Amino acid sequence: MHRLRRLVTRVPVRSAPAEPDEWAIKAFPVPRPARWVATVVVGVLIAMLVHGLVTNGTFGWGAVGRYFFTPLVLSGVRLTVILTVVSMAAGIVIGVLVAVMRMSPNPLMSNASRLYIWFFRGTPLLVQLIFWYNIGALYPKISVGIPFGPSFASFSANHVLTSLVAALIGLSLNEGAYMAEIIRAGIMAVDSGQIEAARAVGMHHGLLLRRVVLPQAMRVVIPPTGNQVITMLKTTSLCSVLAIAELLYSVELIYARNFETIPLLVVASLWYLFMTSVLSVGQFYLERHFGKGQSTLMRLSMARR
């Protein structure tokens, strides 16, 4: 104790550490044997995986290379992108409408919106898709006219609702239910003081939503929406059951003929991985754009602590 105090008082006086510094920290780290074991186990597993990928002929890497850019696969990729973009766009529009309805003071509106979300989140998407595919059995004719009154024109459901339209309707309506909840969370995350300030400077409701609430809600909405896009891209593979030639169904068509099942599934997986990776990069830049003025605020408040 006495020695220690003497040393402490000496520290500031001492200048350049010419002799080996007795205050330098040269402690032995806590031994972590479990970490070494885990490293070895994971290393061996990775080696086995790589070995298998290289030596197992069934992967058929030659076939993978051959089919990667075939026209049928490429058109499948294109249709997958179209399905994703269209149903995501429609889903976001539906989501905004349903979210605004959900926050309406009118109980009929908010309950209708709640019912919508309950139904579309509560039933499997695969069931919904098959349902839309078979909607012609339930409503053979689609009429345009006055509700409960005369109709001006009518179409055969099987004619209008092709499997592609059925898939788009199914995906969009389902996505709308999820997006509604994401957008509602975003709007609720905006400080009520912001709305008051916007009203106080004379903004009417529409202007306030467009200029103050939505840009700030975006910051909260974008990360989960990015996840939704990535999920949607993969979910479109469900449309293969409706015989829509998106990516999965395209490779299925090929391997039904030549039985190179595994290489073609690898082709599809690599395409899905490539597209989701591109989307992740896009999401990063979008987040950075809508975080302006805010991320720095967070950084500053962290630095002050």
Partner 1 sequence: MPDVSSPVSNGATATDDFVRVVKATKRFGPTTVFENLDLVVGQGKVCCIIGPSGAGKSTLLRCMNALERLSAGRIYVGGDLIGYRQRGDRLYELTDRQAALQRSRIGMVFQRFNLFPHMTVLENISEAPIRVLHKDRAEVLEQSRTLLARVGLSDKERAYPGHLSGGQQQRVAIARALALEPRLMLFDEPTSALDPELCGEVLDVMKQLAHHGITMIVVTHEMGFAREVADEVVFMDGGAIVEQGPPTAILEHPAEERTAKFLSSVFGRAP
Give contact residues for partner 1 (rule: CB under 8 A).
191, 193-194, 196-205, 207, 211-212, 215-216, 290, 292-294, 296-297, 300
Instruction: Kindly state the DSSP code that residue 140 receives in the 8-state scheme.
Output: S
- Indicate the residue among 52 and 293 with the shorter CB distance to partner 1: 293
> Least CB distance from residue 209 to partner 1, whole Å?
12
> Least CB distance from residue 203 to partner 1, whole Å?
6
CA proximity to 167, closest of 137, 142, 132: 132
> Least CB distance from residue 267 to partner 1, whole Å?
43
- Indicate the residue among 22 and 191 with the shorter CB distance to partner 1: 191
- Indicate the residue among 168 and 220 with the shorter CB distance to partner 1: 220
Question: Cα–Cα distance between 238 and 118 in angstroms, integer?
Answer: 21
Question: Cα–Cα distance between 140 and 155 in angstroms, integer?
Answer: 9
> Least CB distance from residue 186 to partner 1, whole Å?
13
Cα–Cα distance list, 235 to 68, 88, 194 (Å): 21, 11, 37
- Indicate the residue among 208 and 268 with the shorter CB distance to partner 1: 208
> Least CB distance from residue 201 to partner 1, whole Å?
4
- Indicate the residue among 150 and 202 with the shorter CB distance to partner 1: 202
Amino acid letter, 98:
V
CA proximity to 212, closest of 193, 195, 200, 196: 195
Residues 6+ apart with CB under 8 A from 184: 99, 102, 103
> Least CB distance from residue 199 to partner 1, whole Å?
6
Q: What are phi and psi of 145, to 5 degrees?
A: 180, -165
Question: Cα–Cα distance between 137 and 243 in angstroms, integer?
Answer: 18
> Least CB distance from residue 286 to partner 1, whole Å?
14
Residues 6+ apart with CB under 8 A from 292: none
- Indicate the residue among 144 and 201 with the shorter CB distance to partner 1: 201
Amino acid letter, 247:
L
Residues 6+ apart with CB under 8 A from 281: none
For tokens 């409503």, the residue is 139
Cα–Cα distance list, 122 to 108, 115, 177 (Å): 21, 10, 10
> Least CB distance from residue 8 to partner 1, whole Å?
36
- Indicate the residue among 131 and 290 with the shorter CB distance to partner 1: 290
- Indicate the residue among 6 and 304 with the shorter CB distance to partner 1: 304
Max Cα–Cα distance, the chain, nearest Å? 103
Centroid of chain to Cα 203: 34
